[in-house]
Amino acid sequence: IFSSEEFLEKPPFRDVIIHATVLATTGKRMSKSLGTGVDPMDLIKKYGADATRFGLIWQAMGGQDIHWSEEHVIAGKKFLNKIWNASRFVLHRIGNSKSEIKISKQIPKPKTQADKKIFSEFRRIRPEVDRRIEKYEFGQALHILYDFFWHNFCDVYLEESKKNLNAELLFYLLQNSLKLLHPFLPHITERIWQELPLKEKNLLMVTSWPEV
């Protein structure tokens, strides 16, 4: 801060995030000497970087200290598997990645009651996710996205799409779900994004944020 004030004559940043302390399962501070610490590299080797990232963010629900639990990393791995399988299912339903869907700038119109319900739910959670991220409430934002994608999109809407397919809306929801999930799970979302049958495609990390 002093260096920036001295050489640039301006503060280097205005927001400072003081995150919660990550404690051992017993509630005590992690200590290398006591062997109560957790090496994130071990978790990454075992579960992957995204699952480890999920496990930490999932537990960060405010300023309260976090009692570390590996079960949340395991839950993250299961969620990644859910995203992967759901994406494969969508690609299969719309004709697989060999076909190119011409994505219009216009939002696909809901046709069935199921379409209207999932689209309404997406429109509800999207600004809420924005609001949480802007307030640095990353854990809350991830919980919202998890509930939407697993329960509303996968458990309900994908099942409904087996009866009445709205390919444009189905693909739209997958695309924008990946965009919202990307800050939390960057590796798997980028990997899936590269498989989407888009005519013009950049890296997901530089793609525009959903507006609706």
pLDDT at 101 over 80: no
Q: Which ranges in the chain belong to alpha helices (H)? A: 2-7, 40-47, 49-59, 71-93, 113-134, 138-147, 159-161, 167-181, 186-193
The pTM (predicted TM-score) of the whole model is 0.87
Q: Which residues, 6+ apart, have CB-to-CB distance to 105 below 8 Å?
A: none
**Cβ–Cβ < 8 Å for 116, 164:** no
pLDDT at res. 114: 94
More confident residue, 192 or 37: 192
* Residues linked to residue 29 through DSSP beta bridges, in sequence order: 23
- Average pLDDT, integer, range 178-184: 97
pLDDT at 100 over 80: no
Q: What is the pLDDT of residues 164-176, one digit of tens each?
A: 889 889 999 999 9
pLDDT at 21 over 80: yes
pLDDT at 104 over 60: no
Token pair of 206 as six digits: 């530089």
Provide the pLDDT confidence category of residue 107 given band limits of 50, 70 and 90.
confident
